A and B are shown apart, each in its own frame.
Chain A
Amino acid sequence: MFTKFFDWYEKRHDYAREWIAKNNGEVMGCFCSYVPEELVYAAGHLPHRMLGSHEPQDVTEPFIFGMFCPFCRDVLAQGLKGRYDYMKGITIAQSCLHLRQTFTSWRNHVAHDFSHYIYMPNKVQTDHARPYYNAELIKYKEALEKWTGKEITEESLKDACDLYNENRQLMHEVYDLRKGPDPKVTGLEAMVMVASSFMVDKKDHNAELKRILPELKSRNLNRDTGARLMIVGSEDDDTKFIKMVESVGATVVVDDHCTGSRYFWNSTEFTGNLMQDIANRYIDRVPCPTKDWEERSRFPHILKLAHDFNVEGVIMIQQKFCDPHECDMVPLKEFLAANDLPTLFLEFDVTVPIGQFRIRVEAFLEMLGVEELF
């Protein structure tokens, strides 16, 4: 049922090239999920979130530090290997240091026509962030208009916001089908659904979601749900890992990743000032740990997700060297333990050692429900 999403995700470059040919627009590489894609879309371009390919590589060493996170190095490798030779524009919304330098390295070493750095405020827990980000978005809008030579009209912007909100709503509906005792969607499918939404035109994505949703509601996966797990942490589109987890007696029923629920959890609310509304949507979204301070507002949200989706255990993953998440892992583990949620911590790299992770996951599952053995 999710074949189309897998196709899009696996053949992302084919899709992008076809989209360019059909739509007379360009593809905009978005570094970080804080890039306001609505503006890019309203300007007539296809936003495409940059992800890696999970293949070992040796091309990034002179261009980025070896102790930068594997995700960032994997992303940069895609550019250096020429896999994005069709992509003319790149944008970053200020995120972690590693991704910022990945963007800079890309700008220095990979051909492009347009690049823009949006100074997304890290301190989102202040009202100053709202007018600040609004002003940043106005600058970005002007830069896009200058590049395309076309004005981004209020109407096209509203249409883009509506389209994006619809996509968020539809993905919510799919996530809701994971709450019951027999989830209708596996964690792998949900992961690829969200990851593909970074890469395809939301019109196509919405159409496919609308097509599968009625069928999905009555779907029977014909598999044991096993332990209901949540997965949280750094960027994660590691399909091999989640597939392994779901093959040893568990189902991932929800996540807190920027490549998962965090990407679409909140919508743009309209108050009459569209640019401010878009800015607010990003300021108010479930934050990345780089922005989640002084209060760690994400923790109660994660707990609510765990309760809403009847989670029994949490896998905490961290991309190696991902400092923002690493700083959160200890308090998050304590917070979840205090709320009776056992955790398993794993450190990810470009490729993960499946055998070594499998024993840890299996032991974690045994720990969650070993009664029958005694």
Chain B
Amino acid sequence: MTEKTKEFWRWKEYNWHDEAKDPKDVETISAGVDVGSVSSQAVILLDGELYAYSNMRTGSDSPNSAINAMNWAMENTGLTMDDLHYTVGTGYGRVNVPFSDRAITEIACHARGGNTMYGPTVRTILDMGGQDCKVILCDERGKVKNFLMNDKCAAGTGRGMEVFADLLAVSIEEVGELSLDVEEEPPPVSSTCVVFAKSEASSLLRDGWSKKRVLAAYCSAMAHRVVSLLERVGVEKDFAITGGIAKNSGVVVRLERELKLTSLKSKYDTQIAGALGAALFAKALVEKQRKKVAQ
């Protein structure tokens, strides 16, 4: 691939499973699949413990994206769809997951997943996804108390960041660190529209701004925009970020700076929060179903 045709936005797709665990040995295999507008994740739990997951790009077709993500999570595990006791679909394509037993919104799933990822002290979860942004207030169990989603625009989302990575020919994974490598914080790009922001960035480059400085200006704009969303709901401590942008230190650091808050960190992959929550709900639902049958 030549430099000209390289897709800088393209983040790595991956799968993982815990080789120390044996799926044959458990009572409940529950699964969650989160078909987002940009990425899809599948998570498999063995008796509520994380066993396997995958993260890949959503295709043009939601059912296939769900199947592909789940198949990839099951790769080399010996599991098949038939082994899953209960599956919850979530995300933008939640109603189009052909093998799911139930659909639950990503808002509930992120709260539930975030509760496990960050612990029961988390009260505010900011999910910065591919094409939208959600602020979720939750209780100590991860039950949603209130939420707010951004409206009508992809600025402040992963898709916006991808556009900038491509424009500046910087790998999406490096955007955050590079944006922090500036001597002085530049003013944020003024527009909140991805397309307009891109035009503005082009003119900044023409004016002689370095790539790092333009990235800093965009990460800063994104942080500003998200802070205003957070302020509409009110941030309660502890605070955590899920979704792809949580991996972008350029946005996270600036967000924390503006909020005067540190976000909780987790050993889990921040992109699996929705699918993890879905899988946890799947476990609770199948157990309730079994109890009902037993009665």
- The answer to whether A and B assemble together is yes
Q: Which residues of A contact B (CB under 8 A)?
A: 342, 347, 353, 355-356, 359-360, 362-363, 366-367, 370, 372-374
CB closest chain-A residue, reference B142: A374
Complex Cα–Cα for A367 and B108 (A): 8
Verify if B141 is at the interface (C-beta below 8 Å from A): yes
User: What chain A residues lie within 8 Å of B285 (beta carbons)?
Assistant: 372-373
Q: Please state if B284 and A359 are interface contacts (CB–CB under 8 Å).
A: no
B71-111, CB < 8 A from A: 92, 104-108
Complex Cα–Cα for A374 and B48 (A): 13
Q: Which residues of B contact A (CB under 8 A)?
A: 92, 104-108, 112, 141, 143-147, 149, 151-152, 281, 284-285, 288
Q: Which of B105, B143, B147 has the largest number of chain A CB atoms within 10 A?
A: B105
Known contacts A359-B149, A367-B108; 12 further A-B pairs (Cβ under 8 A): A342-B146, A356-B149, A360-B149, A362-B105, A363-B105, A363-B147, A366-B104, A366-B144, A367-B144, A373-B104, A373-B281, A373-B285
User: What chain A residues lie within 8 Å of B145 (beta carbons)?
Assistant: 367
Q: Which of A342, A347, A360, A373 has the largest number of chain B CB atoms within 10 A?
A: A373
Complex Cα–Cα for A353 and B149 (A): 14
Q: What are 29 A-B interface contacts by the 8 Å CB criterion?
A: A342-B146, A347-B151, A353-B152, A355-B92, A356-B149, A356-B151, A359-B92, A359-B106, A359-B107, A360-B149, A362-B105, A363-B105, A363-B107, A363-B108, A363-B147, A366-B105, A366-B107, A366-B108, A367-B108, A367-B143, A367-B144, A367-B145, A367-B147, A370-B143, A370-B144, A373-B104, A373-B108, A373-B112, A374-B141
- Minimum CB–CB distance from A366 to chain B (whole Å) comes to 5
Complex Cα–Cα for A359 and B106 (A): 8
Given A347-B151, A367-B146, is A374 in contact with B104 using a C-beta cutoff of 8 Å? no
Complex Cα–Cα for A359 and B147 (A): 11
User: What chain A residues lie within 8 Å of B288 (beta carbons)?
Assistant: 372
Complex Cα–Cα for A372 and B108 (A): 13
Q: Which of B105, B143, B152 contacts A359 (CB 8 A)?
A: B105
Number of A-B contacts (CB under 8 A): 43
- Minimum CB–CB distance from B287 to chain A (whole Å) comes to 11
User: What chain B residues lie within 8 Å of A362 (beta carbons)?
Assistant: 105
Q: Please state if A363 and B151 are interface contacts (CB–CB under 8 Å).
A: no
- Minimum CB–CB distance from A276 to chain B (whole Å) comes to 46
Q: Please state if A374 and B284 are interface contacts (CB–CB under 8 Å).
A: yes
CB closest chain-B residue, reference A368: B144
Complex Cα–Cα for A342 and B144 (A): 12
User: What chain A residues lie within 8 Å of B112 (beta carbons)?
Assistant: 373
CB closest chain-B residue, reference A360: B149
CB closest chain-B residue, reference A370: B143
- Minimum CB–CB distance from A365 to chain B (whole Å) comes to 9
Complex Cα–Cα for A366 and B107 (A): 9
Complex Cα–Cα for A1 and B251 (A): 56
CB closest chain-B residue, reference A346: B151
Q: Please state if A374 and B143 are interface contacts (CB–CB under 8 Å).
A: yes
Q: Rank and list the top 10 A-B pairs by shortest CB-CB distance, nearest first.
A: A363-B107, A363-B105, A366-B108, A367-B144, A362-B105, A373-B281, A359-B105, A374-B141, A370-B143, A373-B284
Complex Cα–Cα for A355 and B105 (A): 12
- Minimum CB–CB distance from A246 to chain B (whole Å) comes to 17
User: What chain A residues lie within 8 Å of B141 (beta carbons)?
Assistant: 374
Complex Cα–Cα for A367 and B145 (A): 6
User: What chain B residues lie within 8 Å of A363 (beta carbons)?
Assistant: 105, 107-108, 144, 147
- Minimum CB–CB distance from A130 to chain B (whole Å) comes to 41
- Minimum CB–CB distance from B229 to chain A (whole Å) comes to 13
Complex Cα–Cα for A241 and B92 (A): 18
User: What chain A residues lie within 8 Å of B107 (beta carbons)?
Assistant: 359, 363, 366
CB closest chain-B residue, reference A342: B146
Q: Which of A342, A353, A355, A374 has the largest number of chain B CB atoms within 10 A?
A: A374
User: What chain B residues lie within 8 Å of A347 (beta carbons)?
Assistant: 151
Complex Cα–Cα for A347 and B288 (A): 37
Complex Cα–Cα for A366 and B103 (A): 11
CB closest chain-A residue, reference B282: A373
CB closest chain-B residue, reference A349: B152
Complex Cα–Cα for A363 and B146 (A): 9
CB closest chain-A residue, reference B102: A373
Complex Cα–Cα for A373 and B138 (A): 14
